[in-house]
Structure 1
Amino acid sequence: MTATTATTIPATTATTSGQDALSFLGRALIALLFIPAGFSKIGGFAGVTGYIASKGLPMPAAGAALAIVVELLIGLMLLAGFKTRFSALVLAVFTVVASVVFHNFWALQGAQAMAQQQAFFKNIAVVGGLLVLMAFGPGGWSIDARGRKR
C-alpha cells in the first residue's frame, strides 16, 4: 500500500457490537490494574507513603494521595469510557513516571534487576494499550459514545 492509497481510505468511527464489546473488555482489564491498586493504597496509606519516601521523592503523603486519586478516579473514568482519551493520557503518563521511579531495573543487579525489568516492561505494555485507547477512543459501550449520539 502506498502513502497515496492509505490517505484515500476514509476513516470510520462506526464500530460493530463485537468491537464495542472488545473495547469495553479492554478498558475494563486495564482499569483492573488501577482501581484495586487505588483502594489498597487507601488502606495501606502509611506504608505507601513510607515506600514513596524511601525512593527519595518529596512530599510522599501528597504523592500517595495523588496516586490514589489517579488510580481510583481516572481508573473509574476509563472503565466507564468517560473522557476516555484524557483518562488514557493521564494514566499513561502516571504509569511511565511510576515505572521509571519504582521499577528502575537499570540500577539493580541479579534477580532484583530481572524482576524489576519484567515489571517495568509490563507497565510499558499497559502504556501501549492506553495509547491505543487515546488513538481510537473507547468504542460504542461508553459514556463518550452516548454523548456523541445526542
Structure 2
Amino acid sequence: MNAPAVQNTLALVGRLLLAYLFLPSGLAKIGGFAGTVGMVASKGLPMPELATALVIAVEILGGLALVLGWGTRWASLALALFTLVAGLLYHNWWAMPQEAQMLQKIIFDEHLAVIGGLLVLAAFGPGAYSVEGRRGTVQPR
C-alpha cells in the first residue's frame, strides 16, 4: 500500500472510531430522554429538555458527519467543544470526594484525548475516502 492510501485508510478508520463514541450515545439518549433530561437538570443547566435535544443533535449529526466525511472540520470542532463541556460538567474530578476522583479523572483524561483526536481531524481533514474527498473539496495538507 502506498503512503496516501495508508493515510486515507487510517483517516477513515479514525473517523469511524470517533463516530462510534458519539452516534450510539446520541441514539441512546433518544430512548432514555427523560433520564438524560434529569441528569442535565441535576447539573443546574437551564432548559434541560432543550439542552438534551441539542446534545442529541450534536452527537448524532456530528457522528454522521464523521462517518461520511462531510463537514468534517466543523463537526470535529463542534464535537470537541461538546466533549470539553461534558468533561468539565460531568467528570469534574477535582470537585468530587476522594474515593470518586480516580475514576472520574481517568474519564476526564479520556475526554481530553478524544478532543485531541478531533482537533487533529479538524486540522487535517477527513482524507480522500470521504464525501469531501469524492467531491474534491478536501484541502491539501
Does TM, normalized by the shorter one, top 0.5? yes
Paired letter, 1:145: G
Q: 2:107 aligns with which of 106, 113, 119?
A: 119
**Identity rate of aligned residues, in percent?**
50
Alpha-carbon distance, 1:66 to partner: 0.5
SS at 2:115 equivalent: helix
Which residue number corresponds to residue 95 of structure 2?
107
**What is the 5 A alignment of 1:14-93?**
16-93=4-81
Q: What is the distance in 2 between the residues matched to 1:60 and 1:112? A: 25
Paired letter, 1:48: T
Alpha-carbon distance, 1:109 to partner: 2.0
Q: What is the distance in 2 between the residues matched to 1:127 and 1:81? A: 17
Q: 2:125 aligns with which of 110, 113, 137?
A: 137
TM-score (norm 1): 0.87
Q: What is the distance in 2 between the residues matched to 1:133 and 1:65? A: 25
Paired letter, 1:125: A
Q: What is the distance in 1 between the residues matched to 2:105 and 2:49? A: 27
TM-score (norm 2): 0.92
Alpha-carbon distance, 1:131 to partner: 0.4
Unpaired stretches in structure 1, ≥5 consecutive residues: 1-14
Unpaired stretches in structure 2, ≥5 consecutive residues: none
Which stretches of structure 1, 4 residues or longer, exceed 2 Å deviation after superposition? Answer: none
**Number of residue pairs matched?**
135
Which residue number corresponds to residue 97 of structure 1?
85
